């Protein structure tokens, strides 16, 4: 038991702390539930996007295999060296239950045939389709990465909130309640001692009155 002053003022202060701790615990649980709802919603999006990625990756690989077989590896390498591009993303922030969460917005990497950097007349439709399929795959990868970035931040906050709830529920509040019991016990013991002294004084006074 930590050093505490067993007074009525301290007793009222500890009871107030328990009330505040209970209210804080309830608010944290509400926050945790809201974060979990948002987390599960994002998980659904990740699963859906992952299934989509599996499909587009399969299509991209098929298109590449076909282009290699018909147009040859040398042609594909030549086109790949001529093609240049970049991925542009915008990062901003939003809030979920007061928690700052990164928002990653991408610009599509899909391009037209004329903007890929290689000669239109010197490339087959198979290579064009391969480029288109892989651009689609990159778009989905960026989409998943954006969601996972948000998921990671929410997951960290959920764990942090859960630890705070557990600390209040299993450590802070029980400790405060033990302190309240201790103070009440001391105050009751003092009250009994005071009552005993009063009775003793009363008997002494009555005894003196009889003697007089």
Q: What is the CATH number of the domain that holds 165?
A: 1.10.287.3240
Alpha-helical (H) ranges within the chain are: 8-71, 73-82, 125-167, 173-211
CA distance 101 to 150: 6
Q: Is residue 3 part of a domain?
A: no
Q: What is the DSSP code (8-state) at residue 114?
A: G
CA distance 46 to 149: 11
Per DSSP, the three-state class of 192 is helix
Would residue 179 be called left, alpha or beta, if left means φ above 0 and alpha means ψ between -120 and 50 degrees? alpha
- Domain extent, residue 170, equals 8-206
Handedness of CA 89, 91, 92, 95 (dihedral sign): positive
Say what angle helices 125-167 and 73-82 make with each other, to 10 degrees: 60
Total of domains in the chain: 1
Residue 212, pLDDT score: 63
State how far the alpha carbon of 111 is from the alpha carbons of 55, 125, 134, in Å: 20, 15, 11
Give residue-wise pLDDT tens across range 132-155: 898 899 889 988 988 998 899 999
Would residue 98 be called left, alpha or beta, if left means φ above 0 and alpha means ψ between -120 and 50 degrees? left
CA distance 180 to 175: 9
Q: Is residue 211 part of a domain?
A: no
Q: Is residue 198 part of a domain?
A: yes
Burial 116-147 (b: 16+ CB within 10 A, else e): bebeeeebeebbbbbbbbbbbbbbbbbbbebb
Q: Is residue 2 part of a domain?
A: no
What are the pLDDT tens digits along the chain (212 aa)?
557 888 999 999 999 999 999 999 999 999 999 999 999 999 999 999 999 999 999 999 999 999 989 888 888 888 777 777 777 777 787 888 888 888 877 777 777 666 676 666 777 888 888 888 988 998 899 889 889 988 999 999 999 999 999 999 999 999 999 999 999 999 999 888 878 888 887 777 777 777 76
Q: Is residue 168 part of a domain?
A: yes
Q: What is the DSSP code (8-state) at residue 97?
A: T
Q: Is residue 188 part of a domain?
A: yes
Q: Is residue 157 part of a domain?
A: yes
Q: Is residue 212 part of a domain?
A: no
pTM of the model: 0.72
């Amino acid at each position: 038991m930590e050093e505490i002053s067993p007074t009525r003022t301290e007793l009222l202060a500890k009871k107030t702390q328990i009330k505040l701790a209970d209210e804080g615990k309830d608010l944290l649980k509400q926050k945790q539930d809201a974060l979990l709802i948002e987390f599960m919603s994002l998980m659904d999006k990740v699963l859906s996007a992952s299934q989509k990625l599996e499909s587009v990756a399969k299509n991209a690989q098929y298109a590449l295999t076909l282009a290699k077989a018909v147009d040859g590896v040398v042609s594909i390498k030549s086109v790949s060296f001529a093609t240049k591009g970049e991925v542009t993303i915008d990062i901003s922030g939003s809030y979920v239950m007061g928690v700052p969460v990164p928002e990653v917005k991408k610009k599509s990497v899909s391009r037209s045939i004329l903007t890929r950097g290689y000669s239109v007349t010197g490339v087959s439709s198979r290579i064009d389709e391969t480029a288109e399929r892989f651009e689609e795959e990159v778009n989905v990868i960026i989409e998943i990465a954006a969601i996972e970035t948000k998921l990671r931040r929410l997951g960290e906050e959920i764990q942090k909130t859960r630890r705070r709830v557990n600390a209040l529920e299993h450590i802070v509040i029980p400790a405060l309640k033990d302190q309240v019991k201790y103070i009440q016990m001391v105050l009751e013991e003092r009250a009994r001692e005071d009552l005993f002294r009063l009775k003793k004084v009363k008997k002494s006074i009555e005894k003196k009155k009889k003697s007089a």
